[in-house]
Structure 1
Amino acid sequence: MAGEIAETEELYSPYVGLVYMFNLIVGTGALTMPKAFATAGWLVSLFLLVFLGFMSFMTTTFVTEAMAAANAQLHWKRIENHQEEEDDNSSTASDSDSLIQDNYEQAEKRPILSVQRRGAPNLFEITDRVEMGQMASMFFNKVGVNLFYFCIIIYLYGDLAIYAAAVPFSLMQVSCATGNDSCGVESDTKYNDTDLCWGPLRRVDTYRIYLAVFTLLLGPFTFFDVQKTKYLQILTSLMRWIAFAIMIVLALVRIGRGQGEGHPPLADFSGVRNLFGVCVYSFMCQHSLPSLVTPISSKRHLTRLIFLDYVLILAFYGLLSFTAIFCFRGNSLLDMYTLNFARCDIVGVAAVRFFLGLFPVFTISTNFPIIAVTLRNNWKTLFHREGGTYPWVVDRVVFPTITLVPPVLVAFCTHDLESLVGITGAYAGTGIQYVIPAFLVYLCRKDTRLAFGHETINKHRSPFRHSFWVGFVLLWAFSCFVFVTANIVLSETKL
């Protein structure tokens, strides 16, 4: 839960924190980015990627500032409680004249502002892990808190739907290609869900069978408590970077040999909607910052560290996407980029083809139970009443069921990963990445001035400290919401 003290956790160096943040941001969204790039055009995609990366960096510094302000409040409460305990101890002490005299002399010698002077420089040190839910409860009113949980719940539902669709989709693509005695997925072959896969089984039937197996195997974890182990994180990170490195190298080699098939346009604004959602989703980290930043041992240059991370991530996304769109024809790029390497003319080694084709299965499957439990706990927190407890059936059956069923139903109806990622990023992602951090930093600044005075300086304050930036983020978020909604309505009207 929120508010756990970081001293009980294992601390790590700033550079390890840089690696962890890189791994956190670069996830499933990166695999859907190449197709979005090819659809929107390389120049528009590059501009939007850099701009959205900048916006995400800005709101990340907003969340960091809010974390420091929340820590200052918690530290100050501890100081006040400590003073009250000292006063209580002195009032219940012996009534002997000598003890009274000693207490009086100690009180006279101690400066009135000694506690404040001693604690002020460290008030804004980020030592307590204050999750976004707790920050919302500290700085927002009741309506704001409920809206926060609504937004985070919608985002987590979208996350689970993407994961529930990605694993069966990858398994279907690999197994159906094998079932048709094909070496792999041909780049210029367009498959329909009604095409045969194994004997009388259609591709969509195979997909839904895999979805059912996926739900039966991983769904029960939603009813229990699971935690991500350190070794599992290391394993999945290692597999991820091996897969990304193989894809980038193979694409570069193919382009270098003059075998590149891609001729992406400069701009195609019809694809901007999905590109926007994919980019927002691919820069999502704000909701996990407290768990990531708090254990960093030295936070002296935290903002510079975050900036360096974003530069590296931008370079990586650009390298992955540009090698993809010039290596493969735009209409042949699949929603899950790894599946483009299931061809013999791209990868000659069968083991590598299967590794890349099944890569999302391994990495996503390990994350699904963790996100499901996180969503379940957010539901419980949203309806929690002070001092109340849930009946066993509600706690162990109802909440896990409403967590698991909706994303599985969405995945049953569609496996269009680009649209799922685009919609999740464009709506819930906009709220988490832009709206919530902007209101958090605005209200925490206001609260800090009231509590500690106008001269107090938050040592982790954002470089974007002028209120103009808060208004700019909110205006941009509103514009994005209107643009994406209008684009969807127009698309539906054309259909």
Structure 2
Amino acid sequence: MPRRPWIIRKLFRMPLTETAGDQYSVWVGLIYIFNLIVGTGALTLPAAFARAGWGLSTIALLFLAFMSFMTATYVIETMACANAVIKWKRLQFIKRNSIQENESDEEPSTSQPGYGDLEDPLVCGETIPSRYYSLDKRIELGEMANLFLNKTGRTIFYCTLCIYLYGDLSIYSAAVAKSLMDVVCSSVPSNLTNSTDWDVLPCFTSSEGITRFECYRIALLTFFGAMGPFVFFNVQKTKYLQLFTSGMRWLAFAIMISIAIVLLAKNGPQGKPPAFDYTGIPTLFGACVYSFMCHHSLPALISPIRGKSHLGIHLSLDYLLISIFYLLLAFSGAFAFAHLNDLYTLNFIPTDNENVFLEVIEYFLALFPVFTLSTSFPIIAITLRNNLQGLFLDTSRLETYNFVLRKLLFPIVAVVPPILLTYFLEDISVLIKFTGSYAGTGIQYIIPTFLVLAARRHCTNLLGLGVVNKYKSPFSNIAWAGFVLIWAFVCIILVSVNMLER
């Protein structure tokens, strides 16, 4: 039987997952990442910014952006390593099959030209070896953990990731439903705002009709009915939803920043935040915990991108743009308002209800969390679904499983627990603190660092030192990894102090 060395060359050229129709440009991918990072957490920044002082807060925000970008490059490098391992295993599978075929031939296998090339690419590092490393195949964090971590590491990883993603979906669902409830229902009297039974009040001014909590449940079910089906598809299917809500997001930020600047020009600085107030550091970190989080969903967003040769530069520009947005929002708010609410949009409630333009702005900003979280919800749910599949199924032969297990069970398992939790429990403040602090620190700092260290060691042993990873993080020195782990430990201390103060 003739051998086919062209299979080996084809192995390095063919895409492993996304077809051309499922891919998108790098700019669309950056919009996805922007939408994922910038959420309602940004609305808590101005108040925390003012408490910690404008100088200290600026330094802290830029530092957090840098740390998040560094660990994002770790995720990208680990994903490239995972692609290399999978390609290497497929190559060995083809070699073993070919050797078995050759042994059954009458002619000796060495008489066939081109077959000695199979071993050479693993050690030379000149041409073909660089093709081992790619970002073509979507490999979730869970699959990376299965490839590179030991059993204890995988257990810790999946516990942390599931806590974070399930907590995120629950928080997003409750926040959207409560925002819709506040828009639909009449305002709660100020003397009842902090009451434990405010939710049993009627939704409308009259004493008849549904209660606020019933309206919350209706809004919750409506939200799941609209966003839940996206979990059965891929991220690419949310493209137009992402683009639309990205425009709404930019508009909302532009409105808030513009109004604050107009107030500054008209009335002068009303707020007088100090330059440095170290007592506000724990609160500032608590507000920033979601501000630059995207690591759990990076693989699903990056793999369909066309032309990834300058991905690191484009990602750094995305982080820079987000940092500028955050600073503009925080600076303008901190100086424009004498008092800042914890949720920044509450500072834009118009006092003159007869002004139609201001009333439109009021409703638009009140619905801002709906715009931001509605686009992030499908990405988070798809990420959770993919990682659950990586935990319980062999993703290398995913198509061999039956349709119900592959297409129905895991999407349902991903979205049903959050809806059950938020349907019966509207107040999830404890879940927010735990999810956004300890689990968030693990996902953003600790897990990417341990993954990239293990991936580098594994690929060096497997492919040799001569094979170069063109997606290697610019922060590849071991000192950077140690610095990230020390910072993660400091973050845990800061979060613990913040929670004890509250």
TM-score normalised by the chain length of structure 2: 0.80
Query: How has the CA–CA distance of structure 1 residues 365 and 61 changed in structure 2, closer, same or farther, with 3 Å as cutoff?
Result: closer
Indicate if the aligned counterparts of 1:281 and 1:421 stay in contact, CA closer than 8 A: no
Query: How has the CA–CA distance of structure 1 residues 372 and 461 changed in structure 2, closer, same or farther, with 3 Å as cutoff?
Result: closer
The offset of 1:134, in angstroms, is 0.6
Over the matched positions of the two proteins, sequence identity in percent amounts to 42
Q: 1:432 aligns with which of 421, 432, 443?
A: 443
The offset of 1:447, in angstroms, is 0.9
- Counterpart for residue 244 of structure 1: 253
Indicate if the aligned counterparts of 1:67 and 1:135 stay in contact, CA closer than 8 A: yes
The offset of 1:56, in angstroms, is 0.5
- 1-structure distance, mates of 2:356, 2:342: 20
- Counterpart for residue 143 of structure 1: 152
Q: 2:307 aligns with which of 292, 295, 298?
A: 298
SS of the residue corresponding to residue 281 of structure 1 reads: coil
Query: How has the CA–CA distance of structure 1 residues 201 and 153 changed in structure 2, closer, same or farther, with 3 Å as cutoff?
Result: farther
Indicate if the aligned counterparts of 2:48 and 2:284 stay in contact, CA closer than 8 A: yes
- 2-structure distance, mates of 1:44, 1:108: 63
Deviations, residues 229-272 of structure 1 (Å, cap 9, x unaligned): 22222221121112111221121112111255322233444443
- Counterpart for residue 477 of structure 2: 466
Query: How has the CA–CA distance of structure 1 residues 7 and 318 changed in structure 2, closer, same or farther, with 3 Å as cutoff?
Result: same
- Counterpart for residue 404 of structure 1: 419
After the TM superposition, which residues 26-37 of structure 1 pair with which residues of structure 2 at under 5 Å, given as runs?
A: 26-37=38-49
Q: Which amino acid aligns with 2:59?
A: F
After the TM superposition, which residues 336-351 of structure 1 pair with which residues of structure 2 at under 5 Å, given as runs?
A: 337-344=344-351, 349=357, 350-351=359-360
Indicate if the aligned counterparts of 2:144 and 2:451 stay in contact, CA closer than 8 A: yes
SS of the residue corresponding to residue 129 of structure 1 reads: coil
Q: 1:324 aligns with which of 333, 356, 362?
A: 333
Query: How has the CA–CA distance of structure 1 residues 372 and 450 changed in structure 2, closer, same or farther, with 3 Å as cutoff?
Result: closer
Q: Which amino acid aligns with 1:435?
A: I
- Counterpart for residue 128 of structure 2: 119
The offset of 1:426, in angstroms, is 1.9
Q: 2:138 aligns with which of 129, 142, 154?
A: 129
Whether 1:84 aligns to 2:96 is: yes
The offset of 1:109, in angstroms, is 8.0
Q: 1:158 aligns with which of 160, 167, 172?
A: 167
Q: Which amino acid aligns with 1:266?
A: A
Q: 1:454 aligns with which of 454, 465, 482?
A: 465
Whether 1:444 aligns to 2:487 is: no
TM-score normalised by the chain length of structure 1: 0.82
- Counterpart for residue 413 of structure 1: 427
Query: How has the CA–CA distance of structure 1 residues 172 and 107 changed in structure 2, closer, same or farther, with 3 Å as cutoff?
Result: closer
The offset of 1:128, in angstroms, is 1.4
Indicate if the aligned counterparts of 1:79 and 1:115 stay in contact, CA closer than 8 A: no
Indicate if the aligned counterparts of 2:176 and 2:220 stay in contact, CA closer than 8 A: no
Query: How has the CA–CA distance of structure 1 residues 34 and 423 changed in structure 2, closer, same or farther, with 3 Å as cutoff?
Result: farther
After the TM superposition, which residues 252-271 of structure 1 pair with which residues of structure 2 at under 5 Å, given as runs?
A: 252-258=261-267, 260-271=269-280
Whether 1:70 aligns to 2:82 is: yes
Indicate if the aligned counterparts of 1:157 and 1:407 stay in contact, CA closer than 8 A: no
SS of the residue corresponding to residue 275 of structure 1 reads: helix
Indicate if the aligned counterparts of 1:380 and 1:399 stay in contact, CA closer than 8 A: no
In structure 2, stretches of 5+ residues that fail to align are: 1-14
In structure 1, stretches of 5+ residues that fail to align are: none
- Counterpart for residue 54 of structure 1: 66
Indicate if the aligned counterparts of 2:272 and 2:335 stay in contact, CA closer than 8 A: yes
SS of the residue corresponding to residue 229 of structure 1 reads: helix
- 2-structure distance, mates of 1:435, 1:276: 17
The offset of 1:168, in angstroms, is 3.8
- Counterpart for residue 486 of structure 2: 475
Indicate if the aligned counterparts of 2:37 and 2:294 stay in contact, CA closer than 8 A: yes
Q: Which amino acid aligns with 2:137?
A: D
After the TM superposition, which residues 180-219 of structure 1 pair with which residues of structure 2 at under 5 Å, given as runs?
A: 191-193=193-195, 198-199=204-205, 206=212, 208-219=213-224
- 2-structure distance, mates of 1:62, 1:400: 28
SS of the residue corresponding to residue 93 of structure 2 reads: helix
The offset of 1:18, in angstroms, is 3.2
The offset of 1:422, in angstroms, is 5.4
Query: How has the CA–CA distance of structure 1 residues 152 and 356 changed in structure 2, closer, same or farther, with 3 Å as cutoff?
Result: same
- 2-structure distance, mates of 1:434, 1:150: 16
- 2-structure distance, mates of 1:272, 1:223: 40
The offset of 1:139, in angstroms, is 0.4
Whether 1:105 aligns to 2:96 is: no
The offset of 1:425, in angstroms, is 2.6
- 2-structure distance, mates of 1:480, 1:82: 47
Query: How has the CA–CA distance of structure 1 residues 11 and 154 changed in structure 2, closer, same or farther, with 3 Å as cutoff?
Result: same
- 2-structure distance, mates of 1:120, 1:301: 19
- 1-structure distance, mates of 2:116, 2:392: 47
- Counterpart for residue 319 of structure 2: 310
